[in-house]
Structure 1
Amino acid sequence: MGQYDIYLHSHALFWFITMVLFVLTVIILKSGKVRLARIVQMSLRGFYILVLISGFALVVKNIWWGSILKGLFAIWLIYVMEMISTRMAKKELTMKSSIFLWIQFIISLLLVLYFGYLI
């Protein structure tokens, strides 16, 4: 098992934990438990940083157009996840902006998965 595999597996684990924390944040915010949601959201932000660091290390180890493009889509996905959770916490998420952000979330997630696993 090489050093690249360690980065790859830790990156995949960080993404999995990030997605679980994002879903938990959305569920907790919908239930109205703001204090608990803040704690989970701060943990989520910590995992955003871990995902970005491990992803950057993977791009540096294996530079090619697909990994750079996946990185850009991943940054977009993290941005959309943060916008959804922050606007939900501040109760600024209208129906129109909610639909727009969730569509962006789905598109960016599919692009990240496509470039991460199929290319």
Structure 2
Amino acid sequence: MIQHYSIFLHSHALFWLIAIVLFILTTVMIRNGKQKPAKIMQMSLRLVYLLVFGTGLTMIFLVPTTMAIVKGILAFVLIYVMEMISLRMSKGTLTKQMATRLWAAFVVLLVVVLYFGYFLT
């Protein structure tokens, strides 16, 4: 089963890249007032979240280390923050104070998750 780990690893990294790109595109579209394309991007982003979660969970089951589990939890929180940013932006309920906190959490979590993913696991 371990020999299949690299397949999941590369798929997982690709899905994360797609998720980050879709997230940035979604927030830019919402900010520019293009609600219809932004809604389509949000739905696509949610599908990619499921793929990221599925490949990540599979890798944790293949190699269940403490660091992988911690990274998985942090990545789940990162996905939650990304969803809160895009959802609140699209609904228009994102206050300036909340936006600052969520974007800061996004940047910090992204750096920590990337560090865990590339250097610690």
Q: Which residue of 2 aligns with 1:11?
A: 12
AA partner of residue 13 (structure 1): L
Matches within 5 A, 1:2-81: 2-81=3-82
CA separation in 2, counterparts of 1:95 and 1:13? 32
The root-mean-square deviation of aligned C-alpha atoms, in Å, is: 1.1
Q: Give runs of ≥4 in structure 1 deviating > 4 Å.
A: none
Report the number of matched residues.
119
Structure 1: runs of 5+ lacking an equivalent: none
2:96 matched to 1:95? yes
AA partner of residue 100 (structure 1): R
**Cα displacement string for residues 78-104 of structure 1 (whole angstroms, at most 9, x for unaligned residues):** 000000000000001111000010111
Q: State the SS of the aligned residue for 2:56.
A: helix
CA separation in 2, counterparts of 1:50 and 1:67? 17
> Share of identical aligned residues, percent?
48
AA partner of residue 99 (structure 2): S
Alignment TM-score, normalising by the size of structure 2? 0.96
Q: State the SS of the aligned residue for 1:12.
A: helix
CA separation in 1, counterparts of 2:11 and 2:119? 19
Quote how far apart the aligned CAs of 1:111 are. Answer: 1.1
